[in-house]
Structure 1
Amino acid sequence: MAPEQVNRCHLIAMPYPGRGHINPMMNFCKLLSSKMSNVLVSFVVTEEWLGFLSTSDDILPENIRFTTIPNVIPSEIGRGKDFPGFIEATITKMRDPFERLLDQIELDPDLPPPSVILYDFHLIWPVDVGNIRNIPVACFFPMSAMVLTVLCHFDLLVKNGHFPADVSEGGNEVIDYIPGLPSMRLSDLPTFFHGNGREVIGRVLEGVTYAKKSQYLLLATIDELESDAIAAVKSRLPIPAIYSIGPVIPYFNPSVTKHDDDDGYLQWLTSHPKSSVLYISQGSFLSASTAQMDEIIAGIRDSGVPFLWVARGEGDKIRKGCGDKGLVVPWCDQLRVLCHDSVGGFWSHCGWNSTKEGMFAGVPFLTYPIFWDQMTNSKMITTGWGIGWQVVKKLGMGSDQLLVRREDVADLVRRFMDLESQEGKETRRKAEELRLLCGRAVSEGGSVQVSIDDFVRNVKI
């Protein structure tokens, strides 16, 4: 080992292979690299994902490098095609190539030995790998602490007869016994407790079991935002060190990369009055049914509200259906858009990363959850924190019987974007309060900075 490597920390980052998992883990690694001059981060992705990530203009710090494992997950079970099969493959097929990669790293005289393995909660197997090799392990939980406390208290759902859960009649049973969680409906729980999600609940709960064996737990949230849920998690998980590491969004690097405005969306936004544009993004994984999308497109058009819509697969359809009132792009710098003065609302699927970015920007939400943790996030956005309105009032969006009709979409969007309505003013006031809370937490001396600094001191030891 070269002398200069003796005190060098080598972090091995192993994210779950999905954009909503890779992005926050990478953002956290960038934060660490800015705080630890002696850290080397080996960020492990599949060869396929390296291809996706290497096309970005995002420049990595010198002390972060991509390293790869083969594409061991069959293409025919891509996440949208066979979600349970995809999860099973990430757990059963990725460990062996990861261990071979660790062998190469440990034998390379030019690299410091691994100091800590940072892994995504859903993978589970890195815990055993680290413990067998005597490498400390840090579990990265990419969703809200509220979702984690539901998983930690799964036994209470069973005890109260709410698992297996049946939401065919609306899922309106009240769940008011999970520590750290406000009262909510059964259908507001993550979808791995009902419907097709039950196929993967066993694997998801294994994440809790394995997390207990890790040395650190990193929560992608803010203490002041989810204090009750965080306390409930800490009471159930005997992990030596649990840290709330903040929104792990690129708030620390607001500069625009070269291709950011290839579609002219920033100029287009600047041409509109303050808080007049509705930003629409339904995420990159699942979307509403075809029939529901037709109603949403027509409703947005009929509302007359200017919109910026990010859509990958249905861009042409949206452009034809919505006319010239808005702009449709395949990609944008979402946080930069949400922070733009002309954006007055965010139609969102309520993924946790988008939820955090919307809160950080202080923008109110129209929530349209579809899957996984999005239901719980939507509940908190609308009735927990009071910073948004629901598009769908009942469970079952996308079914023929429960379509949200275009006239209802149009009316909702017009009322939501009315800056003079009392309801809208109150929602915006609360959104501004959360923006300030997030800003204080990530500032120097804030709770997020204190947590990350403490983690840094630990991993340096």
Structure 2
Amino acid sequence: MPSLERSPDAGAGRRRVVLFPLPYQGHLSPMFQLAALLRDRGGLAVTVLHTDFNAPDPARHPPDIAFVPIHESLAEEEQAAAAVDLHAHFLSLDAACVAPFRAAVASLREKAEDDGDVACVVLDSNWLAVLAAAAELGVPLLALRTVSAATSRNLLAFRRLCDDGYVVPVVNDERRDEPVPGLEPLRVGDLVRYDGWDVEKSCEFITKLSDAMRVPMSGVILNTFDAIEADELGKLQAELSVRAFAVGPLHKLSPETTTLRPPHRGCLAWLDAHPPRSVIYVSMGSVAKVSRKVFDEMAWGLSASGVPFLWVVRPGLVGGEDDATVVPQLPDGVDMSRGMVVPWAPQREVLAHPATGGFWTHCGWNSTLEGICEGVPMLAQPCFSDQTVNTRYVTHQWGVGMELVKVFDRVRVGEAVRELMVGEEGDRVRDNARRLRIQANQCVASTRAIDDLVEFVRSL
């Protein structure tokens, strides 16, 4: 039987929601934000199951949220794979979690007489084997999707796209600019993909993600909102057999912040010394990697741009380095005098800072939402997965950003940074970003979406 890190007695007698996040940075934050909303606005008791890998610290969360470790068992070499091969590590972790996850849910149901019944289980939708196991437990199941509605539709259509020849086997495929019927404004080159993998491995994994969306469940929760994805949400709901709840932007609705790395808060004081909208903030998120060549060109381009910059250079950012736990070295001779380089930053505060005038981003969904909600124009450099989908929407649907050119060198990088920060195109996307921010704030002011979800959970 799993041990309790914090007793779930708080909230005894209330209906309980059990949540199981995927233990990676971009997935933990929205799940904990959702947990806080279900507790605060819904009056529901909340229990969070978690892995030993990247285990959360209960002391950093509200005392009435219960934490239950499932104690998955991974071989030492499988644990080490996280820094080298995220895909291999995830598949091992997913398989190792099935049995302890089942045991944890069974234990919580046994306690239902004292603690209040388990209304439902909310899983990160990227769990695969765990999600299939959850569907067999006899407890209502909901999935939290930490990607956009557009990406969700892309995944749902993946088998059809493969059959119709729209999946790009090579990044520079001659069909990459061809529109994809039914998924406009996406082109072939914008579809979800995993560069650097062989075609068979990539397609097999995306197919699993697609099939997971069809696992029997009671509902789907999305971290998005009508102001940016009304059409996509309508189409997605028509394609799903269950109800979809768009409850985002979660980071604006809940104060919960989860970070696996301590942020360098000194960068906020550094920003204080700069004029409004003068600094470009650069971050490739928590797991994306770039090659050593691209990293060096980023450094030289930032230096040549003449624009002040705050750059997150985290351990593991450069793929293929001998030690992924060490911060990558900057190229010899590059002038960093206009910038500040940190291993991690308090991103939400940085984006909200008056000195931040641009966001060079990988366009992960959390980062995209945070940029939109602060009205910061973006320079997009997608790396893998849903980031190409998000980039297309940032640049061609919402018009709040520019994409870095495909030929990646220091001259073009410097030009792109200057254009975003002081050029005419930069002014245009900045105006669009300000307007979209207003619409996002209007969505935040409404509690209807989360209230609908709470009512639904109570009815299960």
Normalization by structure 2: what TM-score?
A: 0.86
Distance 1:332 1:3, change over 3 A: closer
User: Which residue pairs with 2:106 in the alignment?
Assistant: 103
User: Which residue pairs with 1:409 in the alignment?
Assistant: 413
Match of 1:12 among 12, 18, 23: 18
User: Which residue pairs with 1:345 in the alignment?
Assistant: 358
Does residue 169 of structure 1 match 2:169? no
Residue pairs, 1:30-69, within 5 angstroms: 30-37=36-43, 39-50=44-55, 53-54=56-57, 59-69=60-70
Residue pairs, 1:288-367, within 5 angstroms: 288-313=290-315, 314=327, 316-317=329-330, 321-367=334-380
What's the Cα RMSD here? 2.9
Contact persistence 2:264–2:342 (CA under 8 A): no
Question: Aligned AA for 1:141?
Answer: R
Match of 1:121 among 116, 122, 125: 125
Q: For 2:27 and 2:227, locate their aligned partners in 1 and report how far apart those are by CA, in whole Å.
A: 23
Contact persistence 1:73–1:86 (CA under 8 A): no
Q: For 1:434 and 1:281, locate their aligned partners in 2 and report how far apart those are by CA, in whole Å.
A: 22
Question: Aligned AA for 2:457?
Answer: V
Contact persistence 2:185–2:393 (CA under 8 A): no
Q: For 1:204 and 1:7, locate their aligned partners in 2 and report how far apart those are by CA, in whole Å.
A: 41
Residue pairs, 1:114-153, within 5 angstroms: 114-153=118-157
User: Which residue pairs with 1:70 in the alignment?
Assistant: 71
Distance 1:194 1:82, change over 3 A: closer
Q: For 2:264 and 2:171, locate their aligned partners in 1 and report how far apart those are by CA, in whole Å.
A: 44
Unaligned runs of 5+ in 2: 1-7, 316-326
Contact persistence 2:401–2:429 (CA under 8 A): yes
What does the per-residue CA deviation read over 1:122-158, in whole Å, with 9 as the maximum and x for residues that have no partner?
2144555444332111111111111111122224313
Unaligned runs of 5+ in 1: 395-401
Contact persistence 1:120–1:142 (CA under 8 A): yes
Contact persistence 2:32–2:258 (CA under 8 A): no
1:104 is displaced (CA, Å) by 2.6
Distance 1:96 1:243, change over 3 A: same
Q: For 2:354 and 2:280, locate their aligned partners in 1 and report how far apart those are by CA, in whole Å.
A: 12
What does the per-residue CA deviation read over 1:80-121, in whole Å, with 9 as the maximum and x for residues that have no partner?
523432342243221101111123323347533422100011
What does the per-residue CA deviation read over 1:400-429, in whole Å, with 9 as the maximum and x for residues that have no partner?
xx4x221221122122211xx332221101
User: Which residue pairs with 2:432 in the alignment?
Assistant: 430
Larger deviation, residues 244-253 vs 271-280: 244-253
Q: For 2:277 and 2:432, locate their aligned partners in 1 and report how far apart those are by CA, in whole Å.
A: 15
SS of the residue aligned with 1:44? strand
Q: For 1:11 and 1:312, locate their aligned partners in 2 and report how far apart those are by CA, in whole Å.
A: 35
Distance 1:303 1:90, change over 3 A: same
Contact persistence 1:127–1:211 (CA under 8 A): no
Contact persistence 2:185–2:397 (CA under 8 A): no
Larger deviation, residues 225-234 vs 215-224: 225-234
Distance 1:379 1:137, change over 3 A: same
SS of the residue aligned with 1:156? helix
Question: Aligned AA for 2:29?
Answer: N
Contact persistence 1:386–1:427 (CA under 8 A): yes
Larger deviation, residues 83-92 vs 229-238: 83-92
User: Which residue pairs with 1:460 in the alignment?
Assistant: 458
Question: Aligned AA for 2:303?
Answer: R
What does the per-residue CA deviation read over 1:312-348, in whole Å, with 9 as the maximum and x for residues that have no partner?
2236527973422111122221111101100000010
1:247 is displaced (CA, Å) by 2.0
Contact persistence 1:222–1:247 (CA under 8 A): yes
SS of the residue aligned with 1:191? coil
1:26 is displaced (CA, Å) by 1.0
Distance 1:309 1:320, change over 3 A: farther
Name the % identity. Answer: 28
Question: Aligned AA for 1:143?
Answer: V
SS of the residue aligned with 1:199? helix
1:165 is displaced (CA, Å) by 3.5
SS of the residue aligned with 1:140? strand
Contact persistence 2:265–2:346 (CA under 8 A): no
1:360 is displaced (CA, Å) by 0.5
